[in-house]
Chain A
Amino acid sequence: MTENINKRLNLKGVSCPLNFVKTKLKLEEMQDKQILEVILDDGEPMKNVPRSIKEEGHKIIKVEKLPDGGFKLLIKKGGRKDG
Chain B
Amino acid sequence: MADKFIEDKKNKVKVDTTIEGKTGEIDFNTLKSGGLIKQRQKDMFTVRLRCPGGRVPLSKLEKILEVAKKYASAYVHLSFRQSIELPYVDYRNFKAIYAELEKKGQKVASCGPRLRVPTACSGCEYNPNGLMDTQKMVKLVDEKYFGMEFAHKFKISFSGCPIDCARTNENDLGFQGAVKPDWNEETCIGCRICSKACTEGAIESDVETGKPIYNPEKCLYCGDCIRACPTDSWQEEMKGWVVRVGGRHGRHPIAGHKIAEFVSDQDVPRFIEIITKWYKENGVGYGRTRIGTILQIPAKWDSFVKTLRKELKDKIIESPKPPSKNEIHFE
Q: A63-B189, A63-B192 are in contact. Are A50 and B230 (CB under 8 A)?
A: yes
Which residues of A sit under 8 angstroms from B197, Cβ to Cβ? 47, 50-51
A51 touches B191 (CB 8 A): no
**B315 CB-CB contact with A under 8 Å:** no
Pair B210/A51 contact, Cβ less than 8 Å: no
Of all chain B residues, the one with the shortest Cβ separation from A65 is: B192
Q: Please give, as numbers and ranges, the residues of chain B lying within 8 Å of A63 by CB-CB distance.
A: 189, 191-193, 210, 230
Q: How many residues of A contact B (CB 8 A)?
A: 15
Proximity bits, A39-83, B CB within 8 Å = 1, else 0: 000100011001101110001111101000001000000000000
Residues of B within 8 A of A50 (CB): 193, 196-197, 228, 230
Within the complex, what minimum Cβ distance (angstroms) separates A45 from chain B? 9
A43 CB to nearest chain B CB (Å) = 8
Majority DSSP secondary structure for residues of B touching A: loop
Residue of B193, B197, B199, B210 contacting most chain A CB atoms (<10 Å): B193
**B227 & A62 in contact (Cβ 8 Å cutoff):** no
- CB neighbours (8 Å) of A54 from chain B are 227-230
Q: CA separation between A65 and B210, bound complex, in Å?
A: 9
Asked if B250 is at the interface (CB within 8 A of a chain A CB), the reply is no
Q: Which residues 15-42 of A sit at the B interface, judged by CB distance below 8 A?
A: 42
Residues of A contacting B199 in the complex (Cβ-Cβ under 8 angstroms): 47
Contact of B228 among A42, A51, A59, A61 (CB under 8 A): A51
> How distant is the Cα of A22 from the Cα of B281 in the complex, in angstroms?
61
Q: Which residue of B lies closest to A42 (CB)?
A: B196
Chain B min CB distance to A2 (Å): 16
Which residues of chain B have C-beta atoms less than 8 A from A53's C-beta?
230
Asked whether A60 lies within 8 Å of B227 as measured between CB atoms, the reply is no
Which residues of chain B have C-beta atoms less than 8 A from A42's C-beta?
196
Please name the residue on chain A nearest to B229 by beta carbon: A54
The answer to whether A55 and B193 touch (CB under 8 A), given A47-B199, A50-B228, A65-B210, is no
CB–CB A59/B210 < 8 A = no
Contacts of A47 in B (CB 8 A): 196-197, 199
- Give chain A residues whose Cβ lies under 8 Å from the Cβ of B196: 42, 46-47, 50
The answer on a CB contact under 8 Å between B192 and A60 is no
Q: How far is the CA of A35 from the CA of B90 in the complex (A)?
A: 68
10 A-B pairs with C-beta separation under 8 A: A46-B196, A47-B196, A50-B197, A51-B193, A51-B227, A51-B228, A55-B128, A63-B191, A63-B230, A71-B192
Q: Which residues of A contact B (CB under 8 A)?
A: 42, 46-47, 50-51, 53-55, 59-63, 65, 71
Residues of B in contact with A (beta carbons under 8 Å apart): 128, 189, 191-193, 196-197, 199, 210, 224, 227-230
Known: A54-B228, A54-B229, A60-B193. 17 other contacts (CB 8 A): A42-B196, A50-B193, A50-B197, A50-B228, A51-B228, A53-B230, A54-B227, A55-B227, A59-B230, A60-B191, A61-B230, A62-B189, A62-B191, A63-B191, A63-B192, A63-B230, A71-B192
Closest 7 CB pairs of A and B: A63-B191, A60-B230, A46-B196, A51-B228, A50-B193, A47-B196, A51-B227
